[in-house]
Structure 1
Amino acid sequence: MNIVKDFLLQLALVATLIFTFQTFFAEKLEKERENRNFIHALLLALAIVLCMSFPASVTSGIRLDIRIVPLLLGTLYGGWRTGLFLTATIILYRLYLGVDLGFYTTVITLIVSMPAILMCQKSFLHASKRRRINLALLLSIFYCFVGAASGSFIRGISTKFLLFNVIYMVITVAAVWSFISLNETIKEILLKNQRLQTAAKDAEISFLRSQIKPHFLYNSLNSIASLCIDDPKKAEALILDLSQYMKSSFNFKQMDTLTTIENELKLVKAYVNIEKARFGARLEVAYDVDLHLDMWIPPLVLQPLVENAIKHGLMTTLRGGTVSISVKNETGSVVRFAVEDNGSGMSATTLGEIWHADGKKQGTGIGLWNINQRIKLLYGQGICIESIEGSGTKVFFDIPVRPLVPIGG
């Protein structure tokens, strides 16, 4: 019964460490692959040390443990670096425990079996779930067979020794099957959850985009309509400019793709031209854009901010003012987008309440709330607002540099 308890203790220790990693670290560190692999290898090394520290003592000279479980999991899922690190952990800790016949058995077993495990690692990663389980079982049987053969060579063959190794092989194979199966199931659940989250995020972003395009059209056409009586020719020219932009902007085949800074600025300038024709000298626009920024950005992120600055910042005052549009590389890996006006600004109370009820209570329409939601969904951090009542408002956000690459092929 003590042997059963020892093996159950080892299984519990391995399970706790492995599934702690899957639950708390695997998904959170998906993008930080180096940190993820390091933590994974460290926890598996700890599992190996604990298994070797609490072995099942069969006789005074024979102690068995299931170190093969974390060793296989680490090597097959983590790659050769993790495999070599875990191998070194086993040898060094076994050396710390003492140089005896068991130490030599361990070294020989690892020298013979690890090359086979490493050779199968790539095939394992590209295999289906069933084939992964079968491959892991074959490798565990091979490891146990090598261990039994090396032990027989060093200690000599006896019926009791062979019987213990058969029992050990059964326990090891059962443990490997359980852990690989559970690990694959957890990976499937996490992947399914990730896909559902991505689908939900894409659906929300698409919904937000479907809001902002009609919103832009509605306000642009209203501005053009106000010119139809006073200056029909100018209104006609602006309609033609707007239609040319919409011809390329409403590309439904790429509804959910990113766009370039150049294309985004075309939209901004089309809108600014419409508003300048309407408000004349009261509206000035300044551009400070790094022309060498070749990167992908979400579409329709600047125009709503410019619209908000003009309508709610500048045109609420008789004097009007200037909107400054800045797109600059801040740190090499991050580009800052900023829209600033010297208009009426906002009070501290208005600034604190601007996110409530999607901003409509403050008269800002869906622009600020919409952009904030989209940026937060895509990059984890929304927009920032700095405003002083009577002096103006600055809205800015950062986007990681994503170099231009061909889309769809």
Structure 2
Amino acid sequence: MSMNIVKDFLLQLAIIATLVFTFQTFFATKSMRNKQHIGVIQAVLLAVAIVLCMSFPAYITANVRLDIRIVPLLLGALYGGWRTGIFLSATIILYRLLLGADLGLYTTIVTLVVSMPVILTSQKSFQHGGKNKRIKLALLLSIFYCLVGIAFGSIIGGVFIKTLLINLIHVCIATLAVWLFTSLNETIKEILLKNQQLQSAAKDAEISFLRSQINPHFLYNSLNSIAALCIDEPQKAEALTLDLSQYMQSRFNFKHMDTFTTIENELELVEIYLNIERARFGTRLAVEYDVDRQLAMCIPPLILQPLVENAIRHGLMTTLGGGTVIISIKKETDDVVRFAVEDNGIGMSTSTQEHIWHVDETKQGIGIGLQNLSQRMELLYGQRIHIESTEGIGTKVFFDIPVKPFELIGG
């Protein structure tokens, strides 16, 4: 008999463990944007655990059956909130009603009515507590719940020494199970949090590295363009050097590699670069803007200048007549802004477009800037840049940025 009781409780523990850790494995690390849906999934899984525990109780006698429904009930109420707690309580009452209207049903209802307000009131303190405080609070609440059940069961069914001893053993088992699952849950949460922090730190480091590559690249090309003017037009070269120096001093801070900028500042940087290129290429270079000036959002710095540079150097200036660059910043939808740079230069073949993403990073060329920018967009927003190009007609490079506040992917 005792071995059967042990097996029954172990079966309940296995059911709870399977469903709880399934949730932790597949859903706990999902984006916070799906928090509401994930909460529903969590509540449903815990409700299934409760129903299964109640379906496979430990039979102490023919009329006395015990289960550890308190474990998923407490986990749901404390981690999921009051809605989950009420949903799980309703699940217990409805399923107990299906099993039959007897003294156990009334004991269950009274126990939930008395204990759940205390549990839900303690939920806020639980959420704001540390690991040890959470475990202690969960243990106290589980003991309180079980004692309330014993008290009302004794009032309704009478007091018997044997029944009290069985109930006390049940309290110990239930409390031990609550301690086990709360401790494991807190440990898993700590591991997931540390993992997210490491991923976020790695992304920050990689983004900073990619930006550190772009900054010298921008300076190198800008200074080369100015140097080309020094012999024939030294005064213009001097003016452009001073403009670049002043801009770099006021707008371009190398120390803060993880800061964001505004569209206005980004366009100002592009205009500085274009002034340098116009001085060099003259009327061969024309620029058009299609920008929604009302947009107010933060964006990563140096996301347009590399595209403009590629359009000019590899799209337009490889032809004698030059051409036009169109810079576009427009809302694609209510939640997305599209940034695009288009030129009417020589264009690219399909094979050239594919080659861009596999170019050797140790060599200079059209692919380096695009690869770098695409990696930054993927790290920041989870999507790469797109290229549309036709030989002899031109090239369009674009990417989308959400209007919502910046949030690291996976962080």
TM-score (norm 2): 0.96
Q: Secondary structure at the match of 1:370?
A: helix
Alignment match, 1:128 = 130
Q: Secondary structure at the match of 1:31?
A: helix
Aligned mate of 1:147, from 137, 146, 149: 149
What do residues 147-198 of structure 1 show as CA deviations (whole Å, max 9, x unaligned)?
1011111111101110111010000010000000000000000000000000
Shift of 1:382: 0.7
Aligned mate of 1:2, from 4, 26, 34: 4
Alignment match, 1:249 = 251
Alignment match, 2:261 = 259
Correspondence list, 1:3-402, <5 A: 3-252=5-254, 254-357=256-359, 363-364=365-366, 366-402=368-404
- The 2-side partners of 1:235 and 1:362 are apart by 25
Q: CA contact under 8 A between 2:9 and 2:67: conserved in structure 1? A: yes
What do residues 20-58 of structure 1 show as CA deviations (whole Å, max 9, x unaligned)?
111111102433111111111111111111111111111
- The 1-side partners of 2:31 and 2:377 are apart by 21
Alignment match, 2:409 = none
Shift of 1:268: 0.6
Q: Secondary structure at the match of 2:329?
A: strand
The alpha-carbon distance between structure 1 residues 75 and 377, as it changes in their structure 2 partners (threshold 3 A), is: same
Shift of 1:358: 5.2
**RMSD of aligned alpha carbons:** 1.3
Q: Secondary structure at the match of 2:206?
A: helix
Amino acid at match of 2:38: R
- The 2-side partners of 1:235 and 1:50 are apart by 80
- The 1-side partners of 2:139 and 2:372 are apart by 52
Amino acid at match of 1:346: M
Q: Secondary structure at the match of 2:325?
A: strand
Deviates more, 1:249-258 or 1:128-137: 249-258
Amino acid at match of 1:33: K
- The 2-side partners of 1:353 and 1:154 are apart by 80
Amino acid at match of 2:398: F
Structure 1 residue runs of 4+, over 4 Å off?
A: 358-362
Structure 2 gaps of 5+ residues are 407-411
Alignment match, 1:407 = none
Shift of 1:363: 2.3
Q: CA contact under 8 A between 2:261 and 2:300: conserved in structure 1? A: yes
Amino acid at match of 1:242: L
TM-score (norm 1): 0.96
Shift of 1:269: 0.6
- The 2-side partners of 1:75 and 1:263 are apart by 48
- The 1-side partners of 2:16 and 2:27 are apart by 16
- The 1-side partners of 2:328 and 2:362 are apart by 26
- The 2-side partners of 1:320 and 1:393 are apart by 14
Q: CA contact under 8 A between 2:357 and 2:367: conserved in structure 1? A: no
Shift of 1:360: 6.6
What do residues 277-329 of structure 1 show as CA deviations (whole Å, max 9, x unaligned)?
11011111111111111011111111001101100011111111111110011
Q: CA contact under 8 A between 1:10 and 1:66: conserved in structure 2? A: yes
Q: Secondary structure at the match of 1:284?
A: strand
- The 2-side partners of 1:401 and 1:353 are apart by 32
What do residues 375-406 of structure 1 show as CA deviations (whole Å, max 9, x unaligned)?
000111110111111111111001011359xx
- The 2-side partners of 1:244 and 1:382 are apart by 33
Shift of 1:254: 3.4
Amino acid at match of 1:294: A
Amino acid at match of 2:321: R
The alpha-carbon distance between structure 1 residues 79 and 358, as it changes in their structure 2 partners (threshold 3 A), is: farther
- The 1-side partners of 2:287 and 2:90 are apart by 65
Amino acid at match of 1:222: N
Q: How many residues align?
A: 404
Structure 1 gaps of 5+ residues are 405-409
